[in-house]
Amino acid sequence: MSISRRTIFIKQLEFQALIGVYDFEKVSSSRLRLNLELVVNLPKHGDEIKKVVSYEDVLKGVEALALDHHRDLLETLAEDIALFCMEDNRVHSVDLTIDKPDMFAQTESVGVRLKKDRD
């Protein structure tokens, strides 16, 4: 029998963070948006939160991580978020998009997409 998996996701999480290479970004926070998908093992049986990867715990962890210090690059924050998610051994892959919707007037947003798989 194959291992059963599911995908949990967080869509359009908006939060503020100190991120960017420009001087104004080092002193004023930027609005960020995150979309995140985690492929995880299904629990064997039961209806208990402790048996699953909780999207609430992931959400709180991502927000705390984003606020813990300034980063120059979205790529760095994306990698940090992916590594945080992979700390839970039940997570087999992370696919995330993080963007800055307010960076340039002529675009809807700019950002980065990252996919990380467990070896």
- pLDDT tens per residue across all 119 residues of the chain: 566 889 999 999 999 999 999 899 889 999 999 999 999 988 776 778 888 889 999 999 999 999 999 999 999 999 999 999 999 999 999 999 999 999 999 999 999 999 999 97
User: What is the C-alpha separation between 60 and 67, in angstroms, rounded?
Assistant: 11
The residue behind tokens 């995150």 is 34
**Which residue type, as a one-letter code, is found at position 83?**
L
pLDDT of residue 1: 56
Give yes or no for a contact between 109 and 99, defined as CB atoms under 8 angstroms apart.
yes
Give yes or no for a contact between 18 and 29, defined as CB atoms under 8 angstroms apart.
yes
User: What is the C-alpha separation between 26 and 6, in angstroms, rounded?
Assistant: 38
Evaluate if pTM is beyond 0.85: yes
